[in-house]
Amino acid sequence: MKDTPELRSIAIYSREELCGGYFVLWIWDDELSKQCSPGQFFEIRAQASFHDAWDSQRIPKLFKPISVYDNSGGRIGFFIKNVGAGTSALARLKAGDMLELIGPLGNSFPVVSGKRVLLLSGGIGYPPLSYLQKEIINHNLIFWLHGGATQADVFPCDEVWTVDGSIGKQGMVTQGLEDVIINKKIEVLYSCGPLPMLKQASEIAFRHGVEHYTSMEAYMACGIGVCHGCAVPIGSHDDWDYLRVCKEGPVFNANDVLWSEL
């Protein structure tokens, strides 16, 4: 992790298309690649100069936080779902088009070894855990639970849940969590996904004394710790503060998160 993230323009090296509005953008930059660790993210955007933008009647918009999904051989992959204006601008990019990046940003997942590890992801929480898995797989026993709304929202893992039952087990992925923790004798849980999922997972993990690191989502303006827009409540009930997902996060010990304030 570097203390002074830079702003760069890097050409897209390749692009993959998945169903369900998901796509992967790859860049190749050895220097940046060396700086990343699992859990970190970049603020990225389809290139937007103020002046071109006015000419084409576009209003330049905020960068969007996107996790590192893969980092190998100098190539960094971003696994993205098209959900709104910012991600749809990214979705329009082709190989060779320019990406603007700030990062890597934020802290990263604590790395364990010799443990029984559970990865729990929901929807677009998948990418950071994928990067983490590759980094820790040689030193741990890993089981991966993933849930999504429907078939298009699930990706390679050990056990799949879908809300509509179109593939895997039917229901919320957290319904399967307790069984897996018990049966697989899980010691450490890493989670990333929608807030309600994280909230429930943290209750269950807490009940079973499982160490639990969670990567939080938040709307961001600056991404570098300046604006305090991305705050989440961290601490104990009588002594807590709003910490910044982009700076003190995105990874927090789930026991430190004041879920009741969210």
Ligand X SMILES: Cc1cc2nc3c(=O)[nH]c(=O)nc-3n(C[C@H](O)[C@H](O)[C@H](O)COP(=O)(O)OP(=O)(O)OC[C@H]3O[C@@H](n4cnc5c(N)ncnc54)[C@H](O)[C@@H]3O)c2cc1C
Query: In the stretch 83-112, what mask flags binding to its own copies with x, by CB under 8 A?
Result: --xx-xx--x--------------------
Q: Which of residues 182-221 bind ligand FES (CB under 6 A)?
A: 220-221
End-to-end CA distance of the chain: 29
244 binds, among ligand FMN, ligand FES, its own copies, none (CB under 5 to 8 A by kind): ligand FES
Binding flag, residue 220, other proteins (CB under 8 A): yes
Taking the C-alpha atoms of 258, 249, 70 and 164 in order, what is their torsion angle to the nearest 10 degrees? 20
CB nearest ligand X: which residue? 84
The 3-class SS string of 176-188 reads HHHHHHHHCCCCE
Binding flag, residue 221, ligand FMN (CB under 6 A): yes
Binding flag, residue 98, ligand X (CB under 6 A): no
For its own copies (CB under 8 A), the number of binding residues is 13
What SS3 class is residue 27? Answer: strand
- Judged by CB under 8 A, the residue of 4, 9, 57, 138 near its own copies is 57
Instruction: Name the residue among 171, 178, 258, 181 with its Cα closest to residue 214.
Output: 258
Shortest separation between residue 93's beta carbon and ligand FMN, angstroms: 27
DSSP bridge pairs for 67: 41
Give residue 143's identity as a one-letter amino acid code.
F
Shortest separation between residue 219's beta carbon and its own copies, angstroms: 17
- Judged by CB under 8 A, the residue of 18, 52, 61, 95 near other proteins is 61
217 binds, among ligand FMN, ligand X, other proteins, none (CB under 5 to 8 A by kind): ligand X
What SS3 class is residue 176? Answer: helix
* Dist CA 149 CA 51 (whole Å): 40
The alpha carbon of residue 118 and the mean position of all alpha carbons in its chain are separated, in whole angstroms, by 16
Is the N-terminal amide bond of 250 cis, ω within 30° of 0?
yes
Binding flag, residue 229, ligand FMN (CB under 6 A): yes
* Dist CA 176 CA 170 (whole Å): 10
Encoding tokens for residue 245? 């997902």
1 binds, among ligand X, ligand FES, ligand FMN, none (CB under 5 to 8 A by kind): none
Binding flag, residue 228, ligand FES (CB under 6 A): yes
Burial label for 45, CB within 10 Å (0-12, 13-18, 19+), is: buried
Closer residue to ligand FMN in complex, CB, 206/219 = 219
Encoding tokens for residue 21? 């509005």
Shortest separation between residue 249's beta carbon and ligand X, angstroms: 7
Binding site for ligand X (CB under 6 A): 41, 64-67, 69, 79-81, 83-87, 123-124, 127, 217-218, 245, 250
Binding site for its own copies (CB under 8 A): 54-61, 85-86, 88-89, 92
